């Protein structure tokens, strides 16, 4: 039993360490064991340039995965988010490039469209009692068709001419070193306060709180990892703005799921929907709220992934819903609902992103990438089932 508990606790860190060590051995062997000249610039996988781009990719998938996390907590699913991300990003690009809109109004309009679409989809699921799998699968196809129609099956830039705008700078703007440290410091401080509030709330409710060493260790870990990330990014151009978007999203989702009735209702519905109804929880309202938040996460992801590519094309958003679901499952979120954490989702996202980034650097062929991603997902589900058995 102790071995199972240890494996369940350290399986993700060990998996991430194994992936990183493999890519370091394959890509940075000469830089580490060579003549030692050239410094940081000689590293491929561990170089500041690649690690900064890794953080951008991590931020994009992580933001979508955090939205998916709230859906999965209720035992529902959303297969439309990949196509939706492409559609929302495409709407903003078309408004800017073809209709001469300013970047801010275009982004706000596209964001509003996402809110309306996901509100309607959530309402349809709860009022008509239709399976979310079927409705969102239909949404995947409808959004994909609308997306291609909006961009007219062409490639639409995110800016007019060579002049950068707010949209194009989402993934090309980097915070100055001191500003990045200050903002990440604020986010780490807020995370520490939320960790302490979680412990205090459990104590006030008469629940076991465990040793104080645990939240202290979590806070130190968050602070240490954040400082290392900012320091590495500052060796390139600075902290990417996408990582700030992910950090704010993660703090918001953590606050919602751990410190609000809405978050407790998400877990309760996923754990036992019938019991949640008998407890007086407005299940329909909570489910619609989860889909509205999914729409917000999809819009942010759509903006970031389109800006990262530099244009809106028919490939934007392809299979992103699977990456988001895989990140959640790898991070310990139960597909049946009722179990999962924000930290687990972020860890699962980092594993998926590291795998994709490393394979890209090694020029792995696309079909092998698909097989590797599928193998990792299947292995994660198998381990979760095995380690959850008594």
How much is the pLDDT for 75?
Answer: 92
Cα dihedral sign, 57-60-66-72: negative
Residue 35 scores a pLDDT above 60: no
Report pLDDT for 184: 83
Where residue 373 falls among pLDDT bands split at 50, 70, 90? Answer: confident
Mean pLDDT of the region 256-267: 93
Contact 83, 149 (CB under 8 A): no
Q: Using the structure block, give the residue that is written with the tokens 């968050």.
A: 222
Q: Is it the case that residue 202 has pLDDT exceeding 80?
A: no
pLDDT tens track for 150-192: 999 999 999 886 667 889 889 888 888 888 888 888 888 888 8
Neighbours of 197 (CB within 10 A): 14
pLDDT surpassing 90 at residue 227: no
Instruction: Classify 2-26+43-176+238-388 by CATH class.
Output: mainly alpha
Q: Which residue has the higher pLDDT, 203 or 284?
A: 284
Question: With left for phi above 0 and alpha for psi between -120 and 50, is residue 311 left, alpha or beta?
Answer: beta
pLDDT band at residue 324 using 50, 70 and 90 as cut-offs: very high
- The predicted pLDDT at position 162 comes to 64
The pLDDT of residue 41 is above 60: no
CB 124 within 8 A of CB 288: no
The pLDDT of residue 88: 97
Distance CA 316, CA 265 (A): 34
Q: State the pLDDT at residue 235.
A: 85
- Average pLDDT value for the chain: 87
CA distance 169 to 304: 9
Token pair 């990892």 in the structure block, residue: 225
Nearest of 324, 331, 322 to residue 301 by alpha carbon: 324
- Predicted local distance difference test score (pLDDT) of residue 179: 86
Q: Any idea which of 127-136, 281-290, 381-390 has the lowest mean pLDDT?
A: 381-390
Q: 157: which strand partners?
A: 311
Reported as a pLDDT band with limits 50, 70 and 90, residue 26 is: confident
Res. 276: pLDDT tops 70: yes
Lowest mean pLDDT among 136-140, 193-197, 274-278: 193-197
Q: In this predicted structure, what is the pLDDT of residue 308?
A: 93
Say which residue the tokens 């205090």 belong to.
200
Alpha carbon 61 to its chain centroid, in Å, reads 4
Confidence of residue 5 (pLDDT cuts 50, 70, 90): low
pLDDT at position 47 is 87
The domains of the chain are located at: 2-26+43-176+238-388
Q: How many whole angstroms separate alpha carbon 54 and alpha carbon 49?
A: 9
The two structure tokens encoding residue 255: 């606050």
What is d(CA 240, CA 218) in angstroms, rounded to the nearest whole number? 24
pLDDT reading at 69 higher than 60:
yes
Can you give the length of the chain in residues? Answer: 390
244: its two tokens: 């700030």
DSSP state of 312: E
Higher confidence at residue 292 or residue 390?
Answer: 292
Closest alpha carbon to 78 in 294, 349, 262: 294
Spatial distance between the Cα atoms of 359 and 58, rounded to a whole number of angstroms:
15
Rg (C-alpha) for the chain, rounded Å, is 21
- State pTM to two decimals: 0.91
pLDDT band at 193 (very low <50, low <70, confident <90, very high): confident
**pLDDT above 90 for 15:** no
Determine which of 54-68, 94-108, 253-267, 360-374 has the lowest per-residue pLDDT on average.
Answer: 360-374
Query: Does residue 287 register a pLDDT over 90?
Result: yes
- The residue assigned the tokens 């009722």 is 338
């Amino acid at each position: 039993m102790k071995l199972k508990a240890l494996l369940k606790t350290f399986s993700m860190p060990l998996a991430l360490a194994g992936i990183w060590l493999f890519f370091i051995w394959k890509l940075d062997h000469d830089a580490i064991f060579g003549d030692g000249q050239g410094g940081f610039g000689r590293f491929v996988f561990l170089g500041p340039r690649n690690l900064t781009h890794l953080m951008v990719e991590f931020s994009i998938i992580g933001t979508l995965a955090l939205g998916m996390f709230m859906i999965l907590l209720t035992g529902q699913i959303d297969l439309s988010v990949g196509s939706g991300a492409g559609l929302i990003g495409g709407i903003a690009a078309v408004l800017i490039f073809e209709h001469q809109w300013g970047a801010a109004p275009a982004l706000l309009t596209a964001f509003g469209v996402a809110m309306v679409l996901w509100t309607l989809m959530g309402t349809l699921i709860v009022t008509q009692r239709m399976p979310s799998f079927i409705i969102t699968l239909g949404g995947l196809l409808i959004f994909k068709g609308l997306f291609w129609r909006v961009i007219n099956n062409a490639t639409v830039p995110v800016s007019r001419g060579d002049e950068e705008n707010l949209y194009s700078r989402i993934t090309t703007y980097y915070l100055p070193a001191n500003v990045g440290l200050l903002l990440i410091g604020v986010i780490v401080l807020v995370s520490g306060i939320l960790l302490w509030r979680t412990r205090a709330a459990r104590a006030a409710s008469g629940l076991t709180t465990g040793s104080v060493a645990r939240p202290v260790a979590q806070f130190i870990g968050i602070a240490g990892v954040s400082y290392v990330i900012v320091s590495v990014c500052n060796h390139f151009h600075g902290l990417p703005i996408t990582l700030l978007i992910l950090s704010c999203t993660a703090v918001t989702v953590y606050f919602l799921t751990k410190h609000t009735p809405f978050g407790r209702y998400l877990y309760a519905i996923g754990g036992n929907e019938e019991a949640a109804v008998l407890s007086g929880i407005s299940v329909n309202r909570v489910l619609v709220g989860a889909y509205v938040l999914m729409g917000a996460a999809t819009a942010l992801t759509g903006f970031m992934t389109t800006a990262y590519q530099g244009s809106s094309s028919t490939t934007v958003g392809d299979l992103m819903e699977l990456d988001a679901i895989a990140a959640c499952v790898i991070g310990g979120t139960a597909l049946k609902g009722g179990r999962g954490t924000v930290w687990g989702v972020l860890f699962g996202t980092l594993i998926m992103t590291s795998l994709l980034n490393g394979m890209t650097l090694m020029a792995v062929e696309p079909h092998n990438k698909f097989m590797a991603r599928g193998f990792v997902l299947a292995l994660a589900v198998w381990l979760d089932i095995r380690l959850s058995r008594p």
